[in-house]
Every structure is written in structure tokens, then in C-alpha cells.
């Protein structure tokens, strides 16, 4: 939905199962329309679509795509952004580090992302720009070699050429957002800027590339790095990096390390997603929350604070003494108030509903998402 004259807000449908197009469409019909009826009953409703590679392939069949376009018109909905980060199944299976595969060194990632843009340009309303968010190159533990890094740069350049031609052909503005994430090829703002400097080095058309490839700024991920939102966003602007999309989300914060708190954190350990844990002032990064807990209980971790990659509902704080990084999200919104042209694509992305401890999972997904809208919309409208 429009929350400002040019700013669109949606929730990302990666919260719902979407192994293939049939499962994805069923979620849209069941959950997304229920949310629309509550938060946007009388005007066009924006969908932040998540497409797996299988779903994208199936939706590319002309009759299926035409049927979906008609459904969007019939239900007064539109798509302006697609989450192209998870390539495969994202629910009810072990995702963990596999979410980064195939990475941008693989031709499969390039082909999938091209297809996602081919679909997006067919779904966009007239005059609305389109964005796709994606993996930040690769995952650091994959031990990216110089050859792999060169392949990442080359595949991204080919993607730029593809979406630039699409943009010209359809007279629209398409852009990719590389999403910094803990323990990935670039996870902090300085690493992101350095990656872009390398990627653009000696390219004949750096200005045009910057128009098509930028950053998906996730307020959970940058809070995990203990970064200050205004400082990070200003640095990206100063470096000429486009903020393609902003994911509005919060991480888990811990400053009390009593035995009862550690027991509370045990309830956040689950087998589906990777919950990287970053400690300060040691600046140590743990691959997953169970590793951090084991180190703490063994007396090997003496950090004053942890920040954990576990997306927390925007409207609900975890039970004390656990906290969230909502302050980073709020500072990002304040920055947007001062500079509304920074980014026109906003997306709520609390995809962890299905694995949350019971203290945070008191409602069905649609009710949880509605509660997030009810929390966020007054802040944005202010």
C-alpha cells in the first residue's frame, strides 16, 4: 500500500510456505487476502511476493501468469517487490546455510534472478518501480576464492545488463538489492561499500550500474552489527549506493546472562534457520545460537551483549530480560522522515513465525501480520 505519495509498504510473503507456485498462491488466497481485508479493505493492497525457483518457473507459464494477473486485478492487489533470496524451500525443512545456495558465483542464481525480474516487470502497475532482494554475494564460511569472487562480479554484471534492457523496454525502473547479512561476503556497511568499489572498478558504466544494483537494507541485520542506522544510511548515500529496499525487522538482544536467561534462549534454538550471534565488545561471531550458548556455559564467552539473528515481531517485545533491536528500526524510520526520497520500497520481514517460542506466537500468521501493520502504520503516517 502507499504510505507516502511514492512509498510502498508490504509484508514479505516468505512468512508462508511456498515450495512451488500452487503452495505460494494458496498462501496468498488464504493469508494475504485476510490481511488485506483488515488493514487495506478499500484501496489497492501491495504484496511483497516471495518466489522460489520452482514457483518462478511455474508462474512463467503464460496461462498461469495471466491467471495471476487477473487475480491481482480482481482482488485489488499489486506486486512491487519480490524476495529472490531463498532459492529453494524455506519452511518445514533444514534451511540454515543452504539459504545462501546457489550463491552469486553460480549460473543458477543468475538464471533464477533473471526469471524473477522477467516476472516482476509483467506484474508491476504502470508508473511503479520494481525491486528484487537477493543474497549478498555468498556466505563467508564457503571460503570464496578469487575465482569465485570474479564469477560473482561477472554474474551481477550480466544481471545488470538484463534488467537495464528490461527497464528500457518497459519504461520502468527495475533494481536489485543485495542484502548484507551476518557472516556473508559483506555483512557490515564498510564491507558493503568495499564490495561495490571492487565490483564497479574498471566497469565502463558505473553510474548506470548504481541505478540498477544497490542494497536491501535490513534493519535486523545491520542492528546485529551494532551499527547506528543514520550513520550507516548516510555512508551508503555518500558512497553513491542505491537503497533499493528497506526490510523493517528487529533482532533479539541479550544483556543479561543469568542461568534463567540462558534457559530462555534455549527456546529460540531450532533446526530450521541459522541464528548467527554477534558478541560485543569481543566482536566475536558465532555461526549459530547453540554455539554461543555452549561457549557461555563453558566460561569461554564473557561478552557484555549478544545480538542474535532471530527476527522478532515488530509489535511485541520478548519476555524480559530479553530485548529487541527495535531502536535501530525506529532510527531508520526517523531517517526516512527526514529524507523520504532515500527509498520508496518498504517491507516487513518477520519470517520466523513458525519457529518462534510460544511466548511470541500467540496468534495465527495473518493475525500476527495484522498486528505488525497496526504497530507500524501509525508510525509511518506520523
pLDDT value of position 154: 97
pLDDT at 249 over 90: yes
Confidence of residue 362 (pLDDT cuts 50, 70, 90): low
333 vs 343: CA distance, rounded Å: 11
- pLDDT tens, position by position, 12-40: 998 898 899 999 999 999 999 999 999 99
- pLDDT tens, position by position, 109-124: 999 999 999 999 999 9
Of all residues in the chain, the percent with pLDDT exceeding 90 is 84
Mean pLDDT for 134-149 is: 92
Mean pLDDT for 326-332 is: 96
pLDDT at 95 over 80: no
* Residue 382 in grid coordinates: 506520523
Domain extents in the chain: 2-250+325-381
- pLDDT tens, position by position, 256-309: 999 999 999 999 999 989 999 999 999 999 999 999 999 999 999 999 999 999
pTM for this structure? 0.96
| CA distances from residue 144 to 100, 286, 303, 343 in whole angstroms, order as listed | 13, 19, 29, 31
* Residue 66 in grid coordinates: 495471466
pLDDT at 173 over 70: yes
Average pLDDT, the chain: 94
194 vs 172: CA distance, rounded Å: 29
- pLDDT tens, position by position, 51-76: 999 999 999 999 999 999 999 999 99
Cβ contacts of 143 within 8 Å, gap of 6 or more: none
52 vs 18: CA distance, rounded Å: 7
pLDDT at 373 over 90: yes
- Mean pLDDT lowest for which of 62-76, 89-103, 147-161? 89-103
pLDDT at 324 over 90: yes
pLDDT value of position 261: 97
Report, in this order, helix, strand and coil percent for the chain, each rounded to 5: 45, 20, 35
- Mean pLDDT lowest for which of 35-39, 97-101, 174-178, 189-193? 97-101
pLDDT at 361 over 70: no
pLDDT value of position 327: 96
pLDDT value of position 94: 77
CB–CB of 252/352 below 8 Å? no
Of all residues in the chain, the percent with pLDDT exceeding 70 is 98
Cβ contacts of 303 within 8 Å, gap of 6 or more: 279, 280, 281, 282, 284
Q: Determine whether domain 2-250+325-381 maps to CATH 3.20.20.150.
A: yes
Amino acid at each position: 500500500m502507499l504510505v507516502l505519495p511514492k512509498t510502498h509498504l508490504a509484508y514479505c510473503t516468505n512468512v508462508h510456505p511456498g515450495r512451488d507456485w500452487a503452495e505460494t498462491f494458496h498462501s496468498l488466497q488464504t493469508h494475504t487476502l485476510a490481511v488485506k481485508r483488515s488493514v487495506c479493505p478499500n484501496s489497492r493492497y501491495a504484496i511483497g511476493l516471495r518466489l522460489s525457483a520452482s514457483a518462478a518457473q511455474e508462474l512463467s507459464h503464460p496461462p498461469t501468469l495471466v491467471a495471476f494477473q487477473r487475480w491481482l486485478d480482481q482482488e485489488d492487489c499489486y506486486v512491487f517487490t519480490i524476495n529472490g533470496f531463498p532459492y529453494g524451500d524455506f519452511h518445514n525443512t533444514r534451511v540454515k546455510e543452504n539459504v545462501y545456495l546457489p550463491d552469486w558465483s553460480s549460473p543458477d542464481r543468475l538464471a533464477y534472478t533473471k526469471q524473477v525480474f522477467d516476472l516482476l516487470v509483467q506484474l508491476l502497475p504502470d508508473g511503479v518501480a520494481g525491486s528484487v532482494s537477493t543474497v549478498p554475494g555468498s556466505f563467508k564460511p564457503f571460503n570464496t576464492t578469487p575465482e569465485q569472487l570474479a564469477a560473482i562480479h561477472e554474474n551481477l554484471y550480466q544481471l545488470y545488463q538484463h534488467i537495464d534492457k528490461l527497464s528500457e523496454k518497459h519504461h520502468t525502473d527495475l533494481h536489485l538489492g543485495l542484502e548484507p547479512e551476518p557472516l556473508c561476503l559483506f555483512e557490515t556497511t564498510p564491507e558493503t561499500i568495499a564490495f561495490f568499489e571492487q565490483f564497479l572498478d574498471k566497469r565502463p558504466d558505473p553510474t548506470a550500474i548504481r541505478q540498477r544494483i544497490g542494497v536491501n537494507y535490513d534493519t535486523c541485520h545491520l542492528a546485529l552489527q551494532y551499527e547506528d542506522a543514520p550513520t550507516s544510511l548516510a555512508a551508503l548515500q555518500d558512497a553513491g549506493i542505491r537503497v533499493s529496499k528497506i526490510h523493517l525487522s528487529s533482532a533479539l538482544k541479550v544483556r543479561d546472562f543469568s542461568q534463567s536467561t540462558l534457559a530462555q534462549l534455549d527456546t529460540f534454538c531450532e533446526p530450521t534457520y541459522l541464528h548467527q550471534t554477534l558478541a560485543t565488545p569481543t566482536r566475536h561471531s558465532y555461526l549459530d545460537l547453540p554455539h554461543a550458548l555452549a561457549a557461555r556455559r563453558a566460561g569461554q564467552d564473557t561478552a557484555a551483549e549478544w545480538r542474535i539473528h532471530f527476527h522478532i515481531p515488530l509489535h511485541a517485545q520478548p519476555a524480559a530480560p530479553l530485548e529487541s533491536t527495535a531502536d535501530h528500526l525506529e532510527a531508520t524510520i526517523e531517517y526516512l522522515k527526514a529524507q523520504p526520497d532515500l527509498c520508496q520500497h518498504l517491507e516487513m520481514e518477520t519470517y520466523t513465525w513458525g519457529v518462534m517460542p510460544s511466548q511470541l506466537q500467540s496468534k495465527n500468521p495473518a493475525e500476527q501480520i495484522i498486528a505488525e501493520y497496526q504497530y507500524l502504520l501509525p508510525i509511518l503516517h506520523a
